[in-house]
């Protein structure tokens, strides 16, 4: 890691906040080194990096800062879900900044977010370069945590010695043995609920979002979630007009007749005397039910 | 740390070099000497010989020059 790369990463991360509030740029404090547990803030946005060093870049922000970010972005609702969404947005920003600053021989993972308890449980490298900054009265931490270079080169070593998450399964990549993967390859395995998908998979219309998530789920894990055939023969992520056009191209309108049109066709056929015979199970073909022999009575005691 | 910062020329490059040195040191050694947070302007006296050797070896391995021992003229 070069000093200019770290400086660039720091600058473009701070510029994100400066652009949101031009009159209130963030104030950088003196950096320091932390060995052992670092007191993280309420929500943390992380990106795993891999090159000559393995480690994480993360931004740990308190709730007041996330509330300010929501206010700047015009989000009226402030709750756990929206705070977490804002943290996910920050993790996407962090990922983009890391790719811009460290792109080249550094591999950047998919970003993910953790709250305070999850961060305490998540294994991180034992030493960290911490760059605190203040924005709108809230103090956040921009951290570079790297593991010693003598440790395993394909995984991020932990304090506990286990192999680290976060990973999202690529199709077929997770099943490849570790020896077959090229050195430095980053393999992602889905270890979190599918409900927590990145922002770019969530669409404005929740119905479209559900359909798209199901489609995306079938793409990511075809062994667990086989793709269901769409009734209209088109991809579920399309808008209704585009979906209809795609279905017409496939001839779906020739195979299906709406129920109302079927009923209308029967009435026209009945009027013209061309109605086919009723099927044996039809209600009109069954004999009328015989009346009950004795009238029904309420049981004693009612 | 001042020696490393002076050799680097740039403050941020020097801070990163210091981080590269301390990455290689076992954090248990540091925590045993009471070092959990280290600011670059701190002035600490390390009495643990094991930690002293680890720091000297890490400086030489990470930066390629020997750690300069502190002389009485620096007092």
Indicate yes or no: CB of B23 within 8 angstroms of CB of A35.
no
Whether the pLDDT of residue A181 is over 60: the answer is no
Cα–Cα distance measured from residue A159 to residue A264, given in angstroms and rounded to the nearest whole number: 72
What's the pLDDT score for residue A204? Answer: 46
ipTM associated with this complex = 0.85
Q: Taking 70 as the threshold, does the pLDDT of residue A227 lie above it?
A: no
CB-closest option in A7, A35, A147 to B12:
A7
Total length of chain A:
302
Cβ-nearest to B23 among A3, A6, A146: A146
Cβ B13–A3 below 8 Å, yes or no?
yes
Any idea which residue has 């620096």 for tokens? B74
**Measured between alpha carbons, how far is residue A51 from residues A95, A108, B19 in Å?**
15, 9, 17
Q: Note the pLDDT tens digit of each residue in A250-266.
A: 665 555 555 566 667 77
List the single range of A146-150, A235-239, B54-58, B62-66 with lowest mean pLDDT: A235-239
Query: DSSP strand E in chain A: where?
Result: 27-28, 32-35, 43-50, 54-61, 107-108, 112-115, 127-135, 138-146
Given an 8 Å threshold on Cβ–Cβ distance, is B24 in contact with A32?
no
Residue B46: pLDDT band by 50, 70, 90 thresholds? confident
- Say if the Cβ atoms of B37 and A33 lie within 8 Å: yes
Q: Please tell me the least confidently modeled range out of A72-76, A107-111, A129-133, A286-290.
A: A286-290
Q: Are A166 and A110 in contact (CB under 8 A)?
A: yes
B-proximal residues of A, 105-134, CB under 8 Å: 126-127, 129
Is pLDDT above 60 for A104? yes
CA–CA gap between residue A94 and residue A114 (Å, rounded): 14
* pLDDT at res. A302: 55
User: CB-based contact (8 Å) between A92 and chain B?
Assistant: no
Q: What's the pLDDT at A130?
A: 92
């Amino acid at each position: 890691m070069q000093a200019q790369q770290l400086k660039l990463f720091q600058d473009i991360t701070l510029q994100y906040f400066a652009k949101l509030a031009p009159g209130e740029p963030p104030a950088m404090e003196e950096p320091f080194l932390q060995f052992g547990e670092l007191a993280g803030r309420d929500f943390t946005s992380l990106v795993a990096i891999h090159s000559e060093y393995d480690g994480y870049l993360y931004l740990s922000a308190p709730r007041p800062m996330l509330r300010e970010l929501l206010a700047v972005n015009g989000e009226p609702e402030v709750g756990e879900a929206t705070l977490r969404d804002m943290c996910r947005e920050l993790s996407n920003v962090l990922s983009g900044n890391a790719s811009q600053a460290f792109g080249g021989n550094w591999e950047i993972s998919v970003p993910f977010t953790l709250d305070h308890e999850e961060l305490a449980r998540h294994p991180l490298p034992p030493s960290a370069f911490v760059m605190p900054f203040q924005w709108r009265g809230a103090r956040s931490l921009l951290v570079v945590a790297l593991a010693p270079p003598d440790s395993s080169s394909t995984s991020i070593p932990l304090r506990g010695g286990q192999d680290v998450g976060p990973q999202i399964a690529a199709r077929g990549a997770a099943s490849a043995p570790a020896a077959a993967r090229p050195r430095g390859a980053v393999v992602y395995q889905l270890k979190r609920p599918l409900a927590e998908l990145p922002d770019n998979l969530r669409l404005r219309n929740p119905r479209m979002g559900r359909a798209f998530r199901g489609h995306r789920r079938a793409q990511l894990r075809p062994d667990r979630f086989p793709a269901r055939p769409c009734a209209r023969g088109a991809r579920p992520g399309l808008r209704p007009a585009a979906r209809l056009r795609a279905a017409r191209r496939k001839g779906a309108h020739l195979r299906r007749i709406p129920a109302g049109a079927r009923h209308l066709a029967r009435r026209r056929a009945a009027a013209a005397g061309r109605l086919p015979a009723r099927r044996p199970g039809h209600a009109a073909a069954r004999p009328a039910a015989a009346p009950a022999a004795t009238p029904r009575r309420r049981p004693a005691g009612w | 740390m001042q020696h490393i910062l002076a050799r680097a020329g740039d403050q941020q490059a020097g801070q990163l070099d210091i981080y590269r040195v301390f990455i290689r040191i076992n954090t248990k050694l540091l925590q045993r000497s009471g070092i959990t947070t280290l600011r670059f302007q701190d002035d600490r006296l390390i009495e643990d010989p094991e930690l002293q050797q680890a720091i000297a070896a890490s400086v030489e391995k990470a930066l390629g020059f020997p750690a300069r021992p502190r002389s009485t003229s620096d007092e």
